[in-house]
Each structure stands twice: as C-alpha cells, then as structure tokens.
Structure 1
Amino acid sequence: MIIDLDKAKEFLRVDHDDEDSLIQDMIDSAAAYTLEYLNWEEEREEYPAPVISATLLMLGDLYENRTAQAPVQLFNNKSYNRLLSPYRMMVI
C-alpha cells in the first residue's frame, strides 16, 4: 500500500469519518494509476518519497475534482510526472 487512510486524510485535511469509504476508493484508484504509470507489476514493501508524494497529488485531484466536468479548465500537474519519472520502468 502506497498510502493508508490516515495519511490520506491528513493530506486532504479531512478530520471526520463520513467519507472514509469514498477516500479509500480514491486511494486505491490513485495507487493503481501510479503503479500503472510506473509500469510496476506489483506493490512493494516500501516506496520512495517521490512516489508517495505523486500518489498524494493524484488523490488530491480526485478528491477536489469529483466530476468529469468543471466550470474552469483543469490542467495536468507536471509535478506528478516529474516525481515519478526517475522510477518509471520503460516497457519495450
């Protein structure tokens, strides 16, 4: 597990339990996306800090932007790719 519920809630500044199930689903989605981006086949015992940070960034985006439509244009956060690029396994 890249991040747990407690760390996620701390990052999101959520201090209630009402959305725990929703946040856990978002954690799972952010982690799956990160592992897929990295081309890592399986979870690991420990993760480098940049991988954790990038997963938290993705989680924050999922939490704040819960719909496919937005009243303003949303942009890709380049920090996500920059944090993960050194750990990405290139597939031929």
Structure 2
Amino acid sequence: MPDVVTLNETKLFLRVDHDDEDTIIVTMIGAATDAVRDVAEAWDGTGDAPARLKMAVLTRVAIMFYDRASTAPGAGEDRLLLPLRTLEI
C-alpha cells in the first residue's frame, strides 16, 4: 500500500527546508503509515487518504523526527483513528 503522505507534505509539516534528512524522513513516513494503518484498517487504501489519517501519520513522523528514540503515537491520535477502526467481535 502506498504511503498516505508525501515527502514534501511531511517536510512542510516538520518545517524542514533542506534535503539532508530525506532518506530518514521517507523511512519514518513508511513506518508511521504502517503503524497508523494497523489501527485504521477500515480505510481500504483507495482514493485519497482521509485528512484524519494524514494528520495521524504526520504527527507520528514529527514525534519520531524530533525525538529519534520514540515511536509513540501522537497525542489525540486515537481520536483521529477510532472512526477508521474495524472491531471484530
């Protein structure tokens, strides 16, 4: 499945205006996308990603970028993703 945000969108969000860390940012985008999609499995990956999904990925990338030892979800991420979660009973 493709990433839900682009490198350019992410760099704008992070306020990064150089290319020195593009490789690590792309890796963070992939990891954050996988983690967020694990929770938001109700979105099938077709069409544009919902804004709430994009914000969850961007927030998670920002946490990883500014605190390189953290892979924690963003504050409020659960409220963004819960409508996209499928619960099996």
Q: Same fold (TM over 0.5)?
A: yes
Cα offset, 1:44, TM superposition: 2.8
Matched, 1:50 2:47: no
Residue number among 22, 27, 30 corresponding to 2:32 in the alignment: 30
Q: Which residue does 2:78 correspond to in 1?
A: 81
Q: Which residue does 2:18 correspond to in 1?
A: 16
Aligned partner of residue 18 in structure 1, secondary structure = coil
Q: Is the CA contact (8 Å cut-off) linking 2:56 and 2:74 kept in structure 1?
A: no
Distance 1:18 1:24 in 2: 12
Relative contact order, higher structure (CA 8 A, sep 6+): 1
Distance 1:81 1:62 in 2: 17
| Greater Rg by CA | 1
Q: Is the CA contact (8 Å cut-off) linking 2:10 and 2:58 kept in structure 1?
A: yes
Moved more, 57-66 or 22-31: 57-66
TM norm structure 2:
0.84
Matched, 1:90 2:87: yes
Aligned residues: 86
Paired amino acid for 1:80? E
Q: Which residue does 2:68 correspond to in 1?
A: 66
Distance 1:41 1:82 in 2: 15
Cα offset, 1:41, TM superposition: 8.3
Distance 1:61 1:26 in 2: 10
Change (3 A) 1:76 1:31: closer
CA RMSD of aligned residues (A): 2.0
